Amino acid sequence: MEQIRQICKPKKKYSNVVEACNLIRSLRRVLGVSIFNIESTSGNIIISKFTFVGFVFFALWHSLYFYAIYNVYSYDQTILRVLYDTQLKHYGDLVENVATTTYVIYAMWKISFDLSGATKHMQQLVNIDEAINELGDNIDHAKYSAPSFILPLTHVIMCIIRLLSIWISISKRIDFIPYSKIYQILFSDSLGFATIVHYCVYLFIIRDRYRRINKVLRNLQSRGENCFLVRMKNSDNKTIGTQDRALCEIINKCGKIYSMLYKATEIANDKFGLALLLTLSVWLLLIILYLYYFMEATAAGLFHELDRYIKFLIFVLWQILFAIAVMTSSIYICEITVKEAKITAFLAHAMINSRAIYTSVKEEVLKVG
């Protein structure tokens, strides 16, 4: 009987997207990317609270990073030049170290302080969801709880795979393992991944809300003349559609939600603009640098030493492919979000030109558009 009750027990209800992401709070604190916890009050007001545990782990991981950087510069630690003695010598590593260290200094503030403590963008999403619920489309926030835990787990798995790729590349070639260099690489990759994840998740939620508005507009458009069967006359013998009024109210609500989504998009530009610029610039620089290493080693005939060449490729191609994945994922999610927003304008234009929709409704569409 108890098993039947467990099976029939409804899944947990969340009032907003912030509550649905509670599963990752502890993991974010341990990873050091959350000095502030974003919480929701009973009135769906988003607030941020300082977390001492998050600050301790933030200080721990970043202190280890700067200690690792000190060792890398002091002892000229390298992995690439162990695999292949590039003509750039230590200057190639120097360019990479300066670029990634500059990025890490910016990202440590952006992710752990600015994004983790910011409530404006999350409050905007909560307000949008409340407006959509008033429209009659209830959002099931429970579906966000599992992905919110999977993303940090993916982050950890990515670090493990990266560590294995480095270990395979340098195994049996050096007696002294450059742990500081390995930690530096893992840490900079992790911050780049975390920045893109924050951006993509925010845009993914916005895109889902655009799709909900478009679904409502499509339903209104497909109903056509069936929406206008109930009609009456006023004192001037002019027809007034009682269902026109209801339709105008729905369109007006859609227009308000669209305006809120536009504001959320502007918040995304403000919050992630510089972070994306620096992230894409650093990874583009690394792509160019490592492509040079690849072409130089291939032209020099390193492929004649097959075992050494394969290990070199494992190390170099990971950096290139990871950088490409970071860039393409951010561009792709941005593109599909913009595409969904354009569909809303197309649907509004189609309703204006439709003969099945009366003038009062078209005027409402023009008003909110």
Among residues 199, 205, 334, the alpha carbon closest in space to that of 272 is found at 199
Distance CA 220, CA 243 (A): 12
Q: Is 231 strand, coil or helix?
A: strand
Q: Band the pLDDT of 238: cuts 50, 70, 90.
A: very low
Strands (E), 32-114: 36-40, 46-50
The answer, as to whether pTM is greater than 0.85, is: no
Is position 318 within any domain? Answer: yes
Is position 113 within any domain? Answer: yes
Report percent pLDDT > 90 for the chain: 22
pLDDT tens, residue by residue, 75-95: 888 888 888 888 888 888 899
Residues linked to residue 49 through DSSP beta bridges, in sequence order: 37
CA angle 302, 303, 305 (to 5 degrees): 75
Per the structure, the count of domains in the chain is 1
- pLDDT (mean) for 49-58: 90
pLDDT tens, residue by residue, 168-182: 888 777 767 788 999
Of the segments 85-89, 253-257, 294-298, 365-369, which one has the largest average pLDDT value? 294-298
Is position 34 within any domain? Answer: yes
Q: What's the domain range around 161?
A: 14-206+274-322
Is position 114 within any domain? Answer: yes
Q: How many CA atoms lie within 13 A of 150 on its CB side?
A: 6
Q: Which tokens is 265 given?
A: 């998009």
Distance CA 230, CA 247 (A): 12
Position 307 scores a pLDDT of 87
Q: Give the burial class of 367: count Cβ atoms within 10 A of its Cβ; 0-12 exposed, 13-18 middle, 19 or more buried.
A: exposed
Average pLDDT of the chain is 80
pLDDT above 80 for 107: yes
Q: Phi, psi at residue 240, to the nearest 5°?
A: -125, 120
Among residues 24, 236, 57, 26, the alpha carbon closest in space to that of 146 is found at 24
pLDDT above 90 for 136: no
Is position 231 within any domain? Answer: no
Contact 290, 320 (CB under 8 A): yes
pLDDT tens, residue by residue, 173-209: 776 778 899 999 999 999 998 899 889 888 988 998 8
Is position 156 within any domain? Answer: yes
pLDDT tens, residue by residue, 266-278: 888 888 999 999 9
Is position 162 within any domain? Answer: yes
Is position 87 within any domain? Answer: yes
